[in-house]
Amino acid sequence: MTLDRRSFLKLLSAGAGAAGLPMIGRAAELMPKTTRRVVVIGGGFGGTIAAKYVRKLDPTIEVVLIEMERNFISCPFSNLYIAGIYDSMASLTIGYDKLTANHGIKMVYDEVTGIDPAAKVVSMKSGTLSYDRLVVSPGVDFRTEEIEGYDAETPHIIPHAWKAGAQSTLLRKQLQDMPDGGNVIISMPLAPYRCPPGPYERSCLIADYLKKHKPKSKVILLDPNPDVVAKKPLFMKAWNDYYKGVFEYVPGSKVTRVDAKTRTVYVEGVEEHKGNVVNLIPSQRAGKIALKADLVGEDKKWCPVNPVTFESTKHKFIHVIGDSCAPPSAVAPMPKSAYSANTHAKVCAMNVVALMNGLETTEMSAINVCYSAISAHESVTVAAVYKVIDGKITPVPGSGGLSPVDFSQTKREHEYGESWLKNILAEMST
């Protein structure tokens, strides 16, 4: 069953006029709850998998997945589209119909605007939904208030392209329209942020594009962090071996002011960088709804959760997974990646089902692998296996690490990376 705002309004107006019909804004229950129900917010890398695995493990539990868009477009590999290596985003796009057909997941296309943890109800524009347990996987929101001059218009002139879709198309078009000799500025976020290697991957692929099409141009990466955050030796080698002359890396450069009209960013408010194309990726925090529902911790940014069940430590019966969550971690926290979100979702679903059936929970076992393209046909990876040690999510000692720095595996890893994306998107949508 599928209900969007439009058909819901139609449904309402069909019976309108009759007395006592609940009004929108007065929180009409969209689907009265008749059985045990899990509601999932966000049909991205985390949410789809949580919804599917709850149904797979216990089909007697009703699962409703709420997503505000009709289609989901993958951020992973969207840099290849931006840099003109992929012609379209078709291979990055999925829909939700088969989740309903194959797994009986009920889809609601709307935006969640509030959560009432005491009443166990979520509210949307079109009405409310009650839950027994709620899984929240809304991705990230941008801390634009930290950049002077950033307003609602800014991303339409200088895109972040950190959520794939229209933003990716805009950045791609700006690169293509840029004259040879123009400069591209990427201003990246402070750690932690979505996809640690992502900005470096983007810098390589844009440099690859410039090398081929605009050799007099240059891409400048402004990094507010003191040093390369992820896959350092691998990106350093790619910059040195492949992109000398078309690429410049400037660490410790925090952009705090922007003038979109002149395409200028200011490091620490003063040092001016003007580009023909500016890709300003603001620093981040948990998705808007997590903040609104008081799921974030003392840092006001990320959501503290139990490392086994991913249940919020702030509100019972609400679980937070994916980019938004911050479980207690040792050595190095799991990166905010699609693979992390995918494995969080499975751990969470298993334990949600266990808790709802009064059974023993199971210790988490999770993986993260991130493929990053360093050129049109080469990729490198970082990998790790995680488990809980002394109450903290910890990489299993001796496991994981980076691809070999001699680039002996890059071509094969690129082929495997493309298959990874196909498989993970198929897992989310079939």
Partner 1 sequence: MIRKLSLRMLCLLTLSASPWALAGPPSAEMLSYACAGCHGNDGSSVGPSMPSLAGQQKDAFVIAMKEFKSGERPSTVMGRLAKGYTDPEIEAMAGFFAKQKRFLTGQNIQAEKVTRGAALAEKNCSKCHTEEGRTAKEEAGTPILAGQWLKYLQFQSEDYKSGGRKMTKNMGNRVKLLSAEEMDDVAHFYASVK
Q: Which does 195 bind (CB under 5 to 8 A by kind): ligand FAD, ligand HEC, partner 1, none?
A: ligand FAD
Longest dimension (CA), the chain: 74
Distance set, CA 180 to CA 190, 214, 215, 265 (Å): 30, 5, 7, 21
Torsion of CA 327, 330, 336, 339, to 10 degrees: -100
Beta bridge partners of 186: 221, 279
Distance set, CA 40 to CA 105, 131, 188, 420 (Å): 10, 9, 30, 24
Whole-number Å distance between alpha carbons of 175 and 173:
5
Q: Which does 194 bind (CB under 5 to 8 A by kind): ligand HEC, partner 1, ligand FAD, none?
A: ligand FAD
* Cα dihedral across residues 366, 100, 325, 193: positive or negative: positive
Q: Is 355 helix (H, G, I), strand (E, B) or coil?
A: helix
Residue 134: which of 341, 298, 308, 352 has the closest Cα?
A: 352
Q: Which does 66 bind (CB under 5 to 8 A by kind): partner 1, ligand HEC, ligand FAD, none?
A: ligand FAD
Residue 388 interacting with ligand FAD (CB under 6 A)? no
Is the CB of 44 or the CB of 327 nearer to ligand FAD?
A: 44
CB of 262 to ligand FAD, least distance (A): 26
What would you report as the CA-atom Rg of the chain, rounded to the nearest whole angstrom? 22
The DSSP call for residue 363 is -
* Positions that interact with ligand HEC (CB under 6 A): 367, 369, 416, 420
**Among the listed residues 39, 40, 67, 92, the single contact to ligand FAD using CB under 6 A:** 67
Residue 327 interacting with ligand FAD (CB under 6 A)? no
Q: Which does 112 bind (CB under 5 to 8 A by kind): ligand HEC, ligand FAD, partner 1, none?
A: ligand FAD
| Cβ atoms 329, 313 nearer than 8 A | no
Q: Which does 142 bind (CB under 5 to 8 A by kind): ligand HEC, partner 1, ligand FAD, none?
A: none
Residue 333 interacting with ligand FAD (CB under 6 A)? no
Write out the DSSP string of 364-394.
-EEEEEEEEEEETTEEEEEEEEEEEETTEEE
Q: Which does 399 bind (CB under 5 to 8 A by kind): partner 1, ligand FAD, ligand HEC, none?
A: partner 1
Count residues binding ligand FAD (CB under 6 A). 37
Residue 100: which of 52, 54, 58 has the closest Cα?
A: 52
CB of 413 to partner 1, least distance (A): 5
* Positions that interact with partner 1 (CB under 8 A): 53, 57, 306-309, 339, 342-343, 346-347, 350-351, 353-354, 357-367, 369, 381, 383-385, 387-388, 391, 395-396, 398-401, 403, 409, 412-413, 415-416, 418-420, 422-424, 426-427, 430
Q: Is 264 exposed, middle or buried (0-12, 13-18, 19+ CB in 10 A)?
A: middle
The DSSP call for residue 245 is T
Is the CB of 222 or the CB of 234 nearer to partner 1?
A: 234
CB of 5 to ligand FAD, least distance (A): 12
Is the CB of 197 or the CB of 266 nearer to ligand FAD?
A: 197
**Among the listed residues 8, 37, 39, 47, the single contact to ligand FAD using CB under 6 A:** 47
Cα-to-chain-centroid distance, residue 388: 23
Looking up tokens 């006592």 gives: 20
Residue 200 interacting with ligand FAD (CB under 6 A)? no
Is the CB of 369 or the CB of 388 nearer to ligand HEC?
A: 369
Is the CB of 214 or the CB of 414 nearer to ligand HEC?
A: 414
Whole-number Å distance between alpha carbons of 164 and 421:
15
> At what angle are helices 47-57 and 410-429 packed, to 10 degrees?
60
Is the CB of 45 or the CB of 420 nearer to ligand HEC?
A: 420
Is the CB of 13 or the CB of 362 nearer to partner 1?
A: 362
Q: Which does 280 bind (CB under 5 to 8 A by kind): ligand FAD, partner 1, ligand HEC, none?
A: none
Is the CB of 310 or the CB of 420 nearer to ligand HEC?
A: 420
Is the CB of 165 or the CB of 275 nearer to ligand FAD?
A: 165
Residue 339 interacting with ligand FAD (CB under 6 A)? yes
- 38 φ, ψ to 5°? -110, 130
| Cβ atoms 186, 153 nearer than 8 A | no
List Cβ neighbours of 377 (8 Å cut-off, separation of 6 or more). Answer: 411, 414
Q: Which does 127 bind (CB under 5 to 8 A by kind): partner 1, ligand HEC, ligand FAD, none?
A: none
| Cβ atoms 289, 342 nearer than 8 A | no
Interface residues toward ligand FAD, by CB under 6 A: 41-47, 66-69, 72, 75-76, 78-79, 111-112, 137-139, 162, 194-195, 198, 287, 289, 322-324, 336-339, 341, 370-371
